[in-house]
Structure 1
Amino acid sequence: MLFGFVLFITILLSCCSATIYKVGDSDGWTTKDDVYNSWAERKEFHVGDSLVFEYDRSLNDVTQVWGALEYQFCDTFSPQAVYNTGHDVVTLTEPGFYYFISSNRVQCQLGQRLDILVVHDPSRPIPPPPPSKVLYFGKTYKVGGSKGWRVYDSEFYNKWGEEKEFHVGDKLLCEYANEANDVYEISGHREFET
């Protein structure tokens, strides 16, 4: 019976263990000529894995940006997160693309940036959502109020949004005539401006 229990724990730990990757291996997070993409190409990142960024915090930081355009143009105008402790651990909690750059534009353009694709490993359990997604039921907002989703003056929706306080879990309802309009969700400030 004891052997069975030990075997069960061993199997459980082997199938559910996450991998911790030190970005850049022994060199860490520093200005390099595009070494991070070749570093990432040799790895498969899964939900639950973690990235460790080590660097001199007086010279550097890690800025997580929303999308490929912010990544490509080293745009830190509206970051998703900024890490600056010199030893940052970022746990990959959802599948999809993750983009990290240095907020120093010159260093970023010289290659201090990393983009990775995170996939879900079917042998690992799906982690529960953060508590805020579980506990908060949210409100539903009809975009544009009674006017709905249509073409108005360029400031109409900005004014509409400024009057609201949105929270994680809220929903936006866009009602429109589908022959004339659509809704396209984008991933960052640069895509919005484009």
Structure 2
Amino acid sequence: MAKRIFGFFLLAITTFTVLLGCCSATVHKVGDSDGWAPKEDDNWTDREEFHVGDSLVFEYDRNFNDVTQVSGGLEYEFCDSSFPKAVYNTGHDVVTLKEPGSYYFITSNHTQCTSGQRLDVLVTHDPSSPIPPPSPSKILPSGNIYKVGDSKRWSVYDSEFYYQWSKEKQFHVGDSLLFEYNNEVNDVFEISGDLEFLYCDPISPVAVHKTGHDLIKLTEPGIHYFISSEPGHCEAGLKLQVVVGPTPNVPKLSPLERLTRWLNSFTFNHH
């Protein structure tokens, strides 16, 4: 009987927490009454705060426009919709901001975009809300650790070296990259877009690593980009892109085993 009462009490607390989180999210209508339209020097984002769980509503004429989410600051600046992360074209698009970080939206109508129809928002965790623990799907298996550049480490100034190094390997979600280098003369910037990688642009990195012994876990499938931000280093060849596939089939783990692996992922012992 006591266990049943405790279970009901725990369920009630969980339900209340979920409802509270849902209700605290804010819906932002982009452009307010003007909707999704060209605007020069608009300060709409300056008047808003964006948190994880909030939503953006884009309203526009779908016969002339769309909403294209791009991956990086250069795609945003040059109105380049060649490699979109997502495209919305209903005329009433609701985009939920699920992760912290920078989000970039443009219209694929290049004339409209260069006239000011683009939006970048910085999303943060709501300080009044606790950060939820990861779901079981976010608890990754322990994969392989690849030492970038093998014995030559992260120090080769050759435009083909790291391309060939990456091409010869298969990376999966859960694997890790180990960058070793002299942190007095180098670093590792993880960047988000093709153009940033092509032009060695470190302005809007996803993450910055400077320890000289950086272990970076690959948590999402897709293409991951890494460069050195030191002047001239990336242009000389110190840049890496890796294609990450989904997690290979692994035996199913119990919730306790998944939690234990997740906790262990926070520690890395170098021998």
Which residue of the partner structure matches residue 53 of structure 1?
Answer: 58
Query: Number of residue pairs matched?
Result: 185
1:189 to 183, 187, 194: 194
SS, match of residue 188 in structure 2: coil
> Which amino acid counterpart does residue 118 of structure 2 have in structure 1?
R
Which residue of the partner structure matches residue 31 of structure 2?
Answer: 24
Q: How far apart are residue 182 of structure 1 and its match?
A: 3.0
Distance 1:80-1:13 versus aligned 2 partners, 3 A rule: same
Distance 1:68-1:176 versus aligned 2 partners, 3 A rule: same
Distance 1:145-1:78 versus aligned 2 partners, 3 A rule: farther
Q: How does 1:38-117 map onto structure 2 within 5 Å? A: 38-117=43-122
Q: What is the alpha-carbon distance in structure 2 between the residues aligned to residue 80 and residue 136 of structure 1?
A: 26
Give 5+ residue unaligned stretches, structure 1.
Answer: none
Q: What is the alpha-carbon distance in structure 1 between the residues aligned to residue 33 and residue 60 of structure 2?
A: 11
> Which amino acid counterpart does residue 122 of structure 2 have in structure 1?
L
Higher strand share: 2
2:124 to 119, 137, 141: 119
Report if aligned partners of 1:15, 1:123 keep a CA contact under 8 Å in 2.
Answer: no
SS, match of residue 121 in structure 2: strand
Q: What is the alpha-carbon distance in structure 1 between the residues aligned to residue 61 and residue 114 of structure 2?
A: 19
Higher RCO structure, 1 or 2 (CA under 8 Å, sep 6+): 1
> Which amino acid counterpart does residue 30 of structure 2 have in structure 1?
V
Distance 1:153-1:174 versus aligned 2 partners, 3 A rule: same
Q: How far apart are residue 111 of structure 1 and its match?
A: 0.9
Q: How far apart are residue 186 of structure 1 and its match?
A: 2.5
Q: How far apart are residue 15 of structure 1 and its match?
A: 9.1
Q: What is the alpha-carbon distance in structure 2 between the residues aligned to residue 82 and residue 159 of structure 1?
A: 32
SS, match of residue 98 in structure 1: strand
Give 5+ residue unaligned stretches, structure 2.
Answer: 1-11, 200-271
Q: What is the alpha-carbon distance in structure 1 between the residues aligned to residue 144 and residue 59 of structure 2?
A: 40
Query: What RMSD over aligned residues (CA atoms) do the two structures have, in Å?
Result: 3.0
Structure 1 residue runs of 4+, over 6 Å off? none
Which residue of the partner structure matches residue 13 of structure 1?
Answer: 20
> Which amino acid counterpart does residue 99 of structure 1 have in structure 2?
Y
